[in-house]
């Protein structure tokens, strides 16, 4: 019907176009309100999948408005609490101002974004009037077959991703268990490095050779082809905000070196018993450059492996890349070779503790570290009487929620949650010189690190 087709095209072009552009304007106003009030954090509330019709747009718009308003109300209580934990009384005042700013701005932002989705729903409804869109079509066109020679598929056509496997950080001296690794594809604009894609690991675990991660990250191949791979080692125990940890090591892995291991695997794949392809036996060592405290002067290198990524739901076993048997592992990796032997020494004595929060003060505890545990009592007499400790941390347990690390203060070490949130500070009693206290804090921390290493199995 030509008249019906004309009406549908008119509705799409005039009505749908006007409502669609109006929705974008309302969305831009909503983003502006968020930026001016510096509320942030509600992008996930405003961003939804594309609405299908006007009813879907109304429901989505109402949901966005209610969620944004609720977020503003909650922020009045959450922002002061977070500020008090982070910066004390001054942080409480800043958090209070941010909370009330959010209370005013977030409902308005939610209203604007809600209107955006409603208008987009009208635009989507006009698109449904097109008879061409409602026609049943084949899923794909017919393949053109010819008798000529078929073109070979390259690696990027088989899998657009590359697995970057972060094995661990090898170091001569245990530097901490609050490190995570950020991998960054970066380009250089006017001599300055600009990140275009990044992935970050979880906190590593102390091992006999350093810090072990064993985490796989997928990187789009075109990022590794077009950019250098930057490496940043972050210490979540440093800095005021755990969400923005300080960089303690840096390195650059140039493009040819990052993909050489992948090329070698594709040219000369080794097979397992079930015909799976074996992952690289030897890691690619990346020398890390220390850039801050407390790592200055400590030599370390990051161990990476590369292989083509695969979808476990669709790729058959013969095309997967799997870990080889223990005998296949290289002595240069964390998996192979004789482990460096660390004894788990015992140390006990008085330490001062200060828990997080503005109203806590330094108090003396009797601390015993040994047998992969950290224990403390309120005083030495309780320990001598055989009473249960006030706290017992199983340092080598992978599920232990606390970590210990050096601090920016020379004579202090910190206790943090695995999320990086500070929990407490520890220091030796104030008697003695500053140098003596600094060395004593370092000794305590090294004993804690060595007790954090999981004992070898069967030994």
The neighbour count for residue 347, using CB atoms within 10 Å, is 15
Note the pLDDT tens digit of each residue in 153-165.
Answer: 444 444 578 899 9
Backbone φ and ψ of 159, nearest 5°:
-150, 120
pLDDT given at position 432: 59
C-alpha to C-alpha distance for 426 and 411, rounded to whole angstroms = 9
pLDDT given at position 433: 61
Numbers of helices and strands, H then E, in the chain: 10, 18
Q: For the residues 64-92, what does the mean pLDDT come to?
A: 80
pLDDT given at position 386: 93
Selection from 5-9, 17-21, 55-59, 130-134 with the highest mean pLDDT: 55-59
Count of alpha carbons within 13 angstroms of residue 128, beta-carbon side: 10
Whether residue 419 is predicted with pLDDT greater than 90 in this model: the reply is: no
Mean per-residue pLDDT over the chain, rounded? 76
pLDDT given at position 131: 45
In 3D, which of 185, 148, 156, 128 has the Cα closest to residue 12? 128
In 3D, which of 180, 145, 176 has the Cα closest to residue 166? 180
Higher pLDDT, 289 or 439: 289
Task: Scan for tokens 């590359």, then name that residue.
Answer: 162
Rg (alpha carbons) of the chain, rounded to whole number: 29
The DSSP line for 188-252 is EETTEEEEEEEEE----EEETTEEEEEEEEEEEHHHHHHSEEEEEEEETTSSS-TTSPEEEEEEE
Note the pLDDT tens digit of each residue in 168-186.
Answer: 998 876 666 788 999 998 8
Q: Is 182 left (phi over 0), alpha (psi -120 to 50) or beta?
A: beta
In 3D, which of 362, 363, 369, 325 has the Cα closest to residue 344? 369
Whether residue 147 is predicted with pLDDT greater than 70 in this model: the reply is: no
pLDDT given at position 328: 41
First-to-last alpha carbon distance for the chain, in angstroms, is 83
pLDDT given at position 155: 45
| pLDDT tier, 121 (very low <50, low <70, confident <90, very high otherwise) | confident
Beta bridge partners of 181: 233
pLDDT given at position 1: 44
pLDDT given at position 247: 87
Backbone φ and ψ of 411, nearest 5°:
-100, 20
Contact 271, 279 (CB under 8 A): no
The neighbour count for residue 129, using CB atoms within 10 Å, is 18
Contact 378, 388 (CB under 8 A): no
- 16-30, 347-361, 383-397: the lowest-pLDDT one: 16-30
Whether residue 146 is predicted with pLDDT greater than 60 in this model: the reply is: no
Selection from 46-50, 112-116, 166-170 with the highest mean pLDDT: 166-170
Task: Scan for tokens 């929060």, then name that residue.
Answer: 357
pLDDT given at position 135: 47
Selection from 34-48, 346-360, 419-433 with the highest mean pLDDT: 346-360
Which tokens go with 372?
């992969």
């Amino acid at each position: 019907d030509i008249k019906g087709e004309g009406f549908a095209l008119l509705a799409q072009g005039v009505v749908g176009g006007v409502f669609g552009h109006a929705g974008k304007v309302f969305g831009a106003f909503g983003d502006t309100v968020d930026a001016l009030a510096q509320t942030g954090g509600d992008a996930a509330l405003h961003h939804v999948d594309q609405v299908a019709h006007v009813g879907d747009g109304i429901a989505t718009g109402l949901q966005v408005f209610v969620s944004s308003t609720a977020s503003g109300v909650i922020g009045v209580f959450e922002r002061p609490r977070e500020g008090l934990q982070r910066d004390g009384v001054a942080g409480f005042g800043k958090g209070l101002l941010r909370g009330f700013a959010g209370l005013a701005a977030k409902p308005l932002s939610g209203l604007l974004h809600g209107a955006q989705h409603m208008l987009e729903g009208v635009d989507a409804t006009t698109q449904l009037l097109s008879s061409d869109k409602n026609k049943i079509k084949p899923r794909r066109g017919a393949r053109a077959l010819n008798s000529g020679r078929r073109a070979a598929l390259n690696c990027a056509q088989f899998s657009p991703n590359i697995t970057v496997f972060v094995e661990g950080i090898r170091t001569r001296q245990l530097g901490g268990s609050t490190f995570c690794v950020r991998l960054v594809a970066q380009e250089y604009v006017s001599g300055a490095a600009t990140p275009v894609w990044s992935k970050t690991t979880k906190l590593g675990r102390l091992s006999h050779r350093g810090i072990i991660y064993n985490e796989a990250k997928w990187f789009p191949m075109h990022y590794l082809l077009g950019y250098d791979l930057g490496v940043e080692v972050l210490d979540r125990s440093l800095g005021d905000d755990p969400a923005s940890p300080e960089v303690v090591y840096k390195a650059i892995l140039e493009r040819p070196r990052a993909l050489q291991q992948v090329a070698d695997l594709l040219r000369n794949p080794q097979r397992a018993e079930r015909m799976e392809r074996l992952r690289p036996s030897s890691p690619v060592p990346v020398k890390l450059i220390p850039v801050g405290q407390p790592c200055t002067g400590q030599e370390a290198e990051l161990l990476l492996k590369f292989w083509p990524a695969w979808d476990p739901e669709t790729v058959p076993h013969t095309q997967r890349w799997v870990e080889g048997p223990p005998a296949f592992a290289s002595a240069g990796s964390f998996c192979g070779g004789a482990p460096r032997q660390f004894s788990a020494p015992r140390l006990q004595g008085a330490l001062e503790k200060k828990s997080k929060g503005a109203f806590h003060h330094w108090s003396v505890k009797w601390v015993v570290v040994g047998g992969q545990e950290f224990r403390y009592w309120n005083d030495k007499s309780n320990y001598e009487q055989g009473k249960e400790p006030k706290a017992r941390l199983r340092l080598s347990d992978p599920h232990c929620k606390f970590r210990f690390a050096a601090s920016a203060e020379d004579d202090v070490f910190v206790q943090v949650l695995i999320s990086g949130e500070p929990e407490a500070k520890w220091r030796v009693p104030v008697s003695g010189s500053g140098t003596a206290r600094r060395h004593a804090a370092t000794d305590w921390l090294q004993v804690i690190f060595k007790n954090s290493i999981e004992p070898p199995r069967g030994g």
